[in-house]
């Protein structure tokens, strides 16, 4: 009788354990939550692409503008694409918008997250070239405060870092789970040190460089947001060099944080979140998503997602503990 009771207790214990394990598997972890946030931004992009203004020649003109200043090998395909879009505006814009909606839905659904992330990398690179002129990095006229090196390339970077696979052994933060800590740190350094470099270019050190750029973002925005943007423009008026140096220093500190112990890294990531929020509100006017004509929320939210992907884990994340997510995420 005691054996039967013990057996029953064992079965009950295994049943509870299985239920708890199943519940644990069904609970999204931090990487999955970041994937869902990325999916939400893709869905927003799709909705923005369906705006009425995108079905006018203003959209093809916007594409053509990104060819200005680029080398011929980069500019000619952009001009060709803009002309093609102008001639088949309704069809192609509908396709573009639908693709972005499908990418968002694909990343949001567990069974399709891998192909959707892979497709988002290819689409992001294409948009970075044909829609953003490679973020204008080859033109010399580029300001990280306004969103350089382009939001599109940040989508691709996030897709790589949030890929649902795990390297063997513990990793210090989410971004290292798929590519490893060394590669993740290298990507972070390249991003933020390039931001610091671009901020110090002569065009951005000019007295009115940042102020004029920020002031232009107020056009078409609601009164309260336009007032915030104009206030930021006024604050930086005739302060191009000081503004440039201050942002470059902040970017350099953020870059260095990934090579420091966890407490210092957290401080650098908090700075990255603050910079992303400040630039998104005051310099990017929330990416222009309230005014008509924006195709994405610009770089602010994406930089914030990147910072969260590098947040130090309370305990190093081990691949065996997270291996199941590869089939679920």
Q: Is the peptide bond preceding residue 149 cis, with omega within 30 degrees of 0?
A: yes
Bond preceding residue 8 cis, omega within 30 of 0: no
Q: Which domain covers residue 121, as residue numbers?
A: 29-328
Q: Could you tell me the CA-to-CA distances from 14 to 9, 11, 79 in Å, in that order?
A: 9, 5, 64
How many helices (H) and strands (E) in the chain? 17, 2
Residue 8 lies in a domain: no
Would you say residue 57 lies in a domain? yes
Residues paired with 128 in a beta bridge: none
* Residue 20 maps to a domain: no
Provide the number of structural domains found in the chain: 1
CB of 161 closer than 8 Å to CB of 308: no
Q: Are 286 and 216 in contact (CB under 8 A)?
A: no
Look at residue 23 and tell me if it is in a domain: no
Give the pLDDT score at 313.
81
Q: What is the tens place of the pLDDT at every residue in 240-286? A: 999 999 999 999 999 999 999 999 999 999 999 999 999 999 999 99
Instruction: Report in angstroms the alpha-carbon separations of 206 from 63, 216, 230, 248, 250.
Output: 27, 16, 19, 14, 19
3-state secondary structure of 247: helix
Answer whether 221's CB lies under 8 Å from 231's CB: no
Q: How far is 100 from 133, CA to CA, in rounded Å? A: 19
What per-residue confidence (pLDDT) applies to 22? 38
**pLDDT digit string, tens, across residues 174-206:** 999 999 999 999 999 999 999 999 999 999 999
37 found inside a domain: yes
Q: CB count, 10 Å around CB of 203? A: 14
**Which helix (DSSP H) or strand (DSSP E) does residue 191 occupy?**
helix 181-199
Q: In 50-166, where does DSSP find H-type helix?
A: 57-65, 72-87, 89-108, 113-130, 151-161
Lowest-confidence range among 11-15, 108-112, 200-204? Answer: 11-15
- According to DSSP, the residues that pair with 164 across neighbouring strands are none
The pLDDT > 70 percentage for the chain reads 87
pTM: 0.87
Let me know if residue 281 belongs to a domain.
yes
* Residue 238 pLDDT class (50, 70, 90 cuts): very high
- Position 315 scores a pLDDT of 57
pLDDT exceeds cutoff 90 at 46: yes
Judge whether 179 lies within some domain: yes
Kindly give, in sequence order, each residue whose CB lies less than 8 Å from that of residue 270, ignoring residues fewer than 6 positions away: none
For range 128-135, the mean pLDDT: 95
**Does 156 reside within a domain?**
yes
Read off the pLDDT band of 27 (50, 70, 90): low
Percent of the chain with pLDDT over 90: 82
């Amino acid at each position: 009788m005691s054996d039967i009771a013990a057996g029953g207790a064992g079965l009950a214990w295994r049943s509870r354990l299985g239920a708890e394990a199943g519940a644990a598997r069904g609970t999204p972890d931090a990487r999955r939550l970041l994937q869902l946030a990325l999916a939400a931004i893709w869905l927003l992009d799709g909705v923005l692409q369906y705006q009425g203004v995108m079905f006018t020649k203003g959209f093809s003109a916007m594409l053509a503008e990104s060819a200005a200043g680029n080398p011929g090998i980069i500019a000619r395909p952009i001009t060709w694409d803009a002309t093609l879009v102008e001639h088949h505006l309704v069809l192609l814009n509908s396709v573009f918008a639908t693709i972005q909606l499908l990418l968002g839905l694909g990343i949001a659904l567990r069974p399709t997250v891998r192909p959707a992330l892979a497709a988002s990398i290819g689409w992001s690179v294409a948009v970075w070239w044909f829609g953003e002129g490679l973020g204008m990095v080859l033109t010399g006229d580029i300001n990280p405060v306004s969103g350089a090196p382009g939001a599109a390339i940040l989508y691709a970077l996030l897709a790589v870092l949030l890929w649902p696979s795990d390297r063997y052994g513990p990793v210090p933060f989410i971004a290292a789970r798929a590519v490893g800590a060394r590669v993740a740190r290298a990507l972070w350094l390249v991003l933020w040190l390039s931001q610091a470099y671009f901020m110090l270019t002569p065009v951005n050190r000019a007295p009115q460089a940042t102020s004029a750029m920020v002031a232009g973002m107020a056009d078409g925005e609601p009164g309260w947001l336009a007032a915030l943007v104009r206030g930021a423009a006024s604050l930086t008026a005739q302060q191009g060099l000081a503004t440039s140096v201050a942002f470059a220093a902040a970017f350099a500190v953020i870059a260095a944080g990934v090579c420091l112990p966890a407490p210092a890294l957290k401080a650098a990531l908090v700075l990255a979140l603050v910079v992303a929020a400040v630039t998104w509100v005051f310099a990017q006017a929330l990416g222009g998503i309230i005014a008509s004509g924006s195709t994405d929320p610009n770089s602010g939210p994406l930089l914030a997602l990147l910072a969260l992907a590098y947040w130090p884990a309370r305990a190093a994340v081990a691949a065996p503990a997270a291996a199941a997510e590869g089939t679920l995420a």
